Amino acid sequence: DADVTQTPRNRITKTGKRIMLECSQTKGHDRMYWYRQDPGLGLRLIYYSFDVKDINKGEISDGYSVSRQAQAKFSLSLESAIPNQTALYFCATSSGHRAGYTFGSGTRLTVV
């Protein structure tokens, strides 16, 4: 099994719909992150969490929300999806701020 599992792998949704992307990890790490990847823009941080009771906004949090249900689970929600949220979304985890990140396989989201 993968260390970081994201579901779904692919999703097409309509404008205005609510959608949740899920992430679970078996690394036992406290730190979890959600990134968005767009061509030519690299990876941009949406939200991050350093433990179950900690939630922080990243550089592009508008239009997104998160929930840290347990140490192993960190979900990302789009309350009302819009087409410019079409992107590849990655969840990641790390053991500390000087540790390498372990990424999930990504969720490709298309908003039509």
7, 20, 58, 65: residue in contact with another protein (rule CB under 8 A): 58
* Part of the chain binding another protein (CB under 8 A), chosen from 19-27, 62-70, 71-79, 98-106: 98-106
Tokens of 98: 């000087």
* 53 scored as a contact of another protein (CB under 8 A): no
Q: Which helix (H) or strand (E) holds 85?
A: none
* 64 scored as a contact of another protein (CB under 8 A): no
Tokens of 58: 């990243």
CB 43, min distance to another protein, A: 4
* 42 scored as a contact of another protein (CB under 8 A): yes
* 34 scored as a contact of another protein (CB under 8 A): no
Within 10 Å of residue 108's Cβ, how many Cβ atoms? Answer: 15
Write the CB contacts of 62 (distance below 8 Å, at least 6 apart in sequence). Answer: none
CA–CA distance, 1 with 70 (Å, rounded to integer): 19
Residues near another protein (CB under 8 A)? 33, 35, 40-45, 48, 50, 58-59, 90, 92, 97-106
